A = this chain, B = another copy of it.
Amino acid sequence: MVQYAVQLDRTFAAVADPTRRGILERLGRGEASISDLAADFRMTLTGMKKHVQVLEGAGLVTTEKVGRVRHCRVGPRRLDDEVKWIGMYQEMLEGRLNRLGEFLKRSKGKPS
């Protein structure tokens, strides 16, 4: 349970940044090195490395060093737990709106 919570913390924090979401979208089109990514996002190598580390820590990016170049690709984590958590929130919200609807219907039916 704690492990599950830590994982949700990490993934949601990782994708809460527009540059990091952009990096994932870029890697979705094909592998890239840290230098490629830094150039694409007009960022220093150090800045890009930090973003990639956060994504790697969340399991959303895998890196592999070949010679002096570090290659990045998406994965391996699927975000099934995150989708499930958001689904639970949606259900709670729907439940509240249904209860509110029922309440309003009952209030309308009563003589004022």
Contact = CB atoms under 8 A, between A and B. Distances in A.
A87 B79 CA distance: 9
B15 A85 contact: yes
B21 A8 contact: yes
Contact of A74 (B9, B13, B18, B89): B89
Main SS of chain A's interface residues?
Answer: helix
Copies held by the complex? 2
B16 A9 contact: yes
B82 A60 contact: no
A104 interface: no
Contact of A96 (B5, B74, B95): B74
Which residue of A12, A13, A60 has the most chain B CB atoms within 10 A of its CB atom? Answer: A12
Contact of A93 (B78, B85, B95): B78
A92 interface: yes
B79 A86 contact: yes
